[in-house]
Structure 1
Amino acid sequence: MTRMTKGNYSETFDKGLKLLDLYCGEESAFTLAEISRRLDVNKTSVYRLVNTLCEHGYLQKDPKTKAYYLGIRTIPLAHSFLQKANIVTRIKPYVDEVHKEFDLHIDVGLIQNNSIYLVYRRESKDTLAFLHFTAAGDLYNLATGKAAMAFMEEEQLAQFLQHSESKHGKTRAALNPETLKKELTQTRQRGYSLNEELFLPGLIAIGAPIFNLHTMTVLGGISFDSSTSRYSMAQFEKAYSSVLVELAKKISAAISTEE
């Protein structure tokens, strides 16, 4: 992204958006001190930002813990995107068709700023008890993210890994360079990723990458999820990997269609 000139760029608004971006991860609440530390912004400025966001309903303060949560005003904003966004209207028919035929849990996620964000989901009966992702920075824990990582350009992958290591303070076991390299190579060879109870116990998934077909850059991934009470990993892979890869191709084509 090209940085705008100072005259066309609001630094205050930028800080406010970065503040809201904190809530796109796994954590749901932050104190004033935590926000100040994570944004590297003084508490006085943060105080003004959170008060403004609270006034407009985008944040709310817990009177007991003094922590700030997302406010109710974010709900219609999220619903509006998920129901009306151009990208959703393009992929929805293809996902819905497969969901109707196979009763599969299907997630479609797109990558932005070193994280993957859920843009469309269809749930199945056997996965309703699981807590699924809406946004995640640990791409390697998700079938969608792992599939995308396998097809990233080297520079993009290195940037993501550097960001992840910086975020968590140290490289996790799942990111052992040799182990990760081997797994991503296997994913590229298969054309899809496998995730056996890595994100949650009892949850298995297969994921395939989604591309911009004009530039052949990876945009995100799509996954089929199921429970171990319904399938073993091998059974799930055998039954649905070809269906998944075909659906990923259709979604890539739909997303890449010119206006």
Structure 2
Amino acid sequence: MPTPDNTAAPLRQAAAEETKPARAKDNASETLAKGLRILDIFGIDDSGFTLSQIAARVHLNKTSVYRYVNTFRELGYLRRDERTGLYHLGVRSLSLAYTIVEKSEMVQLVKPFVLEANRKHGVHVDVGLVKGDAIYLIYRHESKDTSVFRSFSYSSDLYYLATGKAAMAFMEQDELSALLDRLDLAAKTDKTLTDRDSLLKELERAREQGYCVNNEEFVPGLIAIGAPLFSLRTGKAIGGVSFDSTTDQFSMKEFEARFSGYLVELAKKISAVVSL
């Protein structure tokens, strides 16, 4: 099952946080932020990490990482496989994640729209919100033909996903330019847009038509269309919703023609309830 290699996202987000005004930084706990960066990499990929791998991914020394990891173990947020020595998410992290999915007010507001879209059209639906330089999955409903794929798991870079590209297309130009300066446009497939000018042209096209397309840019055989989510308070793009399918079911052109209008309307409805 493909899993996004997105280990740089938490680091880029942390770097972005450094540019915030001094007053905001003074009110934040750097110690807590470092600990959360460690948990962040497990959300992206829970295949397990050694202490050295964790230290390398979050750019902290092993002594500091050991203290954080040992604290998380004692509290039940991480566990260590004594056979392999790898660290994984613990029962308290899993319980917290389950509670968020089942009880979160935002998820409960989004869920009926997603289930209705799946019921009507049988499509895979992802809803994600942008934070820092990544897009975070808040709700998903899979379809039968995409059950072996993952559009993204916990968080992913924006440029190779329909949800992320949809949000990028409607960012202010200065914000988009700064984001692209920070992103490493690495190829996920031979169709991933890694040339900045080509990506900008694609985003401009998406802005004009109100939605973006993703033609096997993250996983071979997986196609998607994405529409932006907006904050009704600020008017800014805050995320995206996508429909995913496979090349066995539709061509990219067929999928776009059949579902893009419905998706754009769905994005408006979801925007009305996420209210960031």
Match of 1:36 in 2: 55
Aligned length: 254
Give the match for residue 24 of structure 1. Answer: 43
- List alignment gaps of at least 5 residues for structure 2: 1-19
> Which residue of structure 2 aligns with residue 58 of structure 1?
77
CA contact (8 A) 1:137 1:164 kept: no
Q: TM-score, normalised by structure 1?
A: 0.88
In the alignment, the residues of structure 1 paired with residue 240 and residue 274 of structure 2 have an alpha-carbon distance, to the nearest angstrom, of 12
- Alignment partner, residue 225 of structure 1: 244
1:15 is matched by which residue type in structure 2?
Answer: K
Match of 1:101 among 115, 120, 126: 120
Deviations 1:211-245 (A, max 9, x none): 00221101100000111111111111111110000
Q: Is 1:160–2:179 an aligned residue pair? A: yes
Partner of residue 117 from structure 1, selected from 124, 129, 136 = 136
Is 1:246–2:270 an aligned residue pair? no
Aligned 8 A contact 2:123 2:243 in 1: yes
CA contact (8 A) 2:192 2:217 kept: no
SS of structure 2 residue aligned to 1:129: coil
Unaligned runs of 5+ in 1: none
Q: Secondary structure at the match of 1:141?
A: coil
Residues 149-169 of structure 1, C-alpha deviations (whole Å, 9 max, x = no match): 11111232233223322999x
Is residue 2:194 matched to residue 1:147?
no
Moved more, 146-155 or 9-18: 9-18
State which of 137, 146, 159 in structure 2 corresponds to 1:127.
146
TM superposition shift of 1:120: 0.9
**Deviation of the 1:8 alpha carbon:** 5.7
Counterpart in 2 of 1:47? 66
Q: Which residue of 1 aligns with 2:254?
A: 235
Structure 1 counterpart of 2:70, one-letter code: N
Give, in whole Å, the separation in 1 of the partners of 2:55 and 2:102.
34
CA distance in 1, matches of 2:175, 2:130: 11
Per-residue CA deviations over 1:143-201 (Å, capped at 9, x if unaligned) read 11111111111232233223322999xxx972312111111111111111111111111
Aligned CA-pair RMSD: 2.5
3-state DSSP of counterpart to 2:250? coil
Q: C-alpha displacement at 1:207, in angstroms?
A: 0.4
TM-score if structure 2 supplies the norm length? 0.83
Given candidates 187, 201, 205, the residue that maps to 2:206 is 187
Q: 1:106, CA displacement in angstroms?
A: 0.6
